[in-house]
Amino acid sequence: MSKSAKLELGEKTIELDIIEGTEGERALDISKLRAETGFITYDNGLGNTGACLSNITFIDGEKGILKHRGYTIENLCEKSSFLEVSYLVVNGKLPSTSELEEFTAAIQKGSKIPEGVKTIIKSFPKDAHPMGITSAAMVALSGFYPEYLNQDLSDQQKKEIIPLMLGQLKTIAAAVYRHGQGKDLIEPNNNLDYVSDFLYMMTGNEPNKEVAKALDVLLILHADHEQNCSASTVRVVGSSKANLFASISSGIDALWGPLHGGANQAVLEMLSEIQKDGGGYEKFIEKAKDKEDPFRLMGFGHRVYKNFDPRAKVIKAYCDVVLDKLNVEDPLLDIAKGLEKTALSDEYFAKRKLFPNVDFYSGIIYKALGIPTNMFTVMFALGRQPGWIAQWKEMIEADGMRITRPRQIYQGKTDEKL
């Protein structure tokens, strides 16, 4: 394969370097295109545009492969904990025993949130969407930890702020839930592991091992996903040298949308609507296919995966295990499985390579764990935060980091006069 490509534009021919990744992906380097030709590229939704070089996560959408720092997601779910995977995506290697102990202790130390942030959470109406409160609480942390407001953090400051963020969001998420339930907030219990402490702060009880393990796996499955909408948002905001609190808060905001992380809530609402409608999902599949109908099959389709989302496979298998262990019967699981089977055998979905994604089954498990539907996307954020932090850290540490500022093709009016 040649290391460059020729581009002919009228009389001009330029050479574009070809960049090849370690997993065989290839890109045309167009960094000098405008300077040399006056042309820019146009790519609606940026599905054909690489925004960065990264060592964190690799996805092969055609083969349904997801790896973090070279480890497959299946291997990590089986052999690692969420904190180990968090350490891996952020630091590039799995922690030694002593590194994990130090990381865990720093997260526990960072789990107590400022009283002022509790006041902000409690100032929201009880029925406010948890994602809005979570985003507000996250950016509010910037007022309580001013020592971390610049982006030129020392290595020691990064070592402090990263576990602090993981600890704070865990407690914020539980506090947001308690507020929505009209209950008092519960302080972190440092005798518990990360997930057990989250569940303890949610319910006031120490969870059983099965529940904690199930949630730990779910958080691993959400840890990072290369340049998805929210991770790209974190990078864009961070590229202006905004602080980590602001960058993560913006990631939470981007994740909220039903086309992205908000889909897990939308899937449960869709399954519940199908159940209320008598369980006939065929009607909903026809609606999803109807171009005149804005309805989409939530939890189906993906910009990158044109085969099964490997995370959906793990979660689907886990549904049966968790519901069985918790002795929970959920008719929505049967509806989901029937919906999936029927959709996958339908030409419309097959032709467009639309498969279940990470959000299609995750809500079934969250529901079985007693987590309310409007908290599902907060759970996604809790899982994704290590990935956002890893992407932000990789960006600020990259040589030649520049502010993200895309161009456009103007199509508006040209010669107006007052």
Please give the positions annotated as active site. Answer: 302, 359
Residue placing its CB nearer to ligand SDX in the complex, 138 or 231? 231
Q: Give the nearest distance from C-beta 364 to ligand SDX in angstroms.
A: 14
Q: Give the nearest distance from C-beta 144 to ligand SDX in angstroms.
A: 29
Residue placing its CB nearer to ligand SDX in the complex, 17 or 290? 290
76 binds ligand SDX (CB under 6 A): no
303 binds ligand SDX (CB under 6 A): yes
Q: Give the nearest distance from C-beta 97 to ligand SDX in angstroms.
A: 30
9 binds ligand SDX (CB under 6 A): no
Binding mask 253-282 for ligand SDX (x = CB under 6 A): ------xxx-x-------------------
Q: Give the nearest distance from C-beta 350 to ligand SDX in angstroms.
A: 11
Tell me the window of 17-25, 121-129, 276-284, 292-300 that interacts with ligand SDX (CB under 6 A): 292-300
Q: Give the nearest distance from C-beta 296 to ligand SDX in angstroms.
A: 4
How many CB atoms lie under 10 A from the CB of residue 380? 29
Residue placing its CB nearer to ligand SDX in the complex, 144 or 348? 348
354 binds ligand SDX (CB under 6 A): yes
Give the chain as a 3 state SS string. Answer: CCCEEEEEECCEEEEEEEEECCCCCEEECCCCHHHHHCCCCCCHHHCCCCCCCCCCEEEECCCCEEEECCEEHHHHHHHCCHHHHHHHHHHCCCCCHHHHHHHHHHHHHCCCCCHHHHHHHHHCCCCCCHHHHHHHHHHHHHHCCHHHCCCCCCHHHHHHHHHHHHHHHHHHHHHHHHHHCCCCCCCCCCCCCHHHHHHHHHHCCCCCHHHHHHHHHHHHHCCCCCCCHHHHHHHHHHCCCCCHHHHHHHHHHHHHCCCCCCHHHHHHHHHHHHHHCCCCCHHHHHHHHCCCCCCCCCCECCCCCCCCCHHHHHHHHHHHHHHHHCCCCCHHHHHHHHHHHHHHCCHHHHHCCCCECHHHHHHHHHHHCCCCHHHHHHHHHHHHHHHHHHHHHHHHHCCCCCCCCCCCCCCCCCCCCC
Q: Give the nearest distance from C-beta 284 to ligand SDX in angstroms.
A: 10
Residue placing its CB nearer to ligand SDX in the complex, 158 or 296? 296
Tell me the window of 114-122, 144-152, 187-195, 296-304 that interacts with ligand SDX (CB under 6 A): 296-304
Residue placing its CB nearer to ligand SDX in the complex, 48 or 123? 48
- Binders in 185-244 for ligand SDX, by CB under 6 A: 225, 228-229
301 binds ligand SDX (CB under 6 A): yes
Task: Give the span between the Cα atoms of 397 and 108, in whole angstroms.
Answer: 26
Residue placing its CB nearer to ligand SDX in the complex, 301 or 386? 301
Q: Which position among 169, 358, 368, 382 is part of the footprint of ligand SDX (CB under 6 A)?
A: 358
299 binds ligand SDX (CB under 6 A): yes
Residue placing its CB nearer to ligand SDX in the complex, 69 or 302? 302
Give the residues across from 68 on adjacent strands.
57, 71
Q: Give the footprint of ligand SDX on this chain (CB under 6 A).
A: 45, 225, 228-229, 259-261, 263, 288, 296-304, 352, 354, 357-359
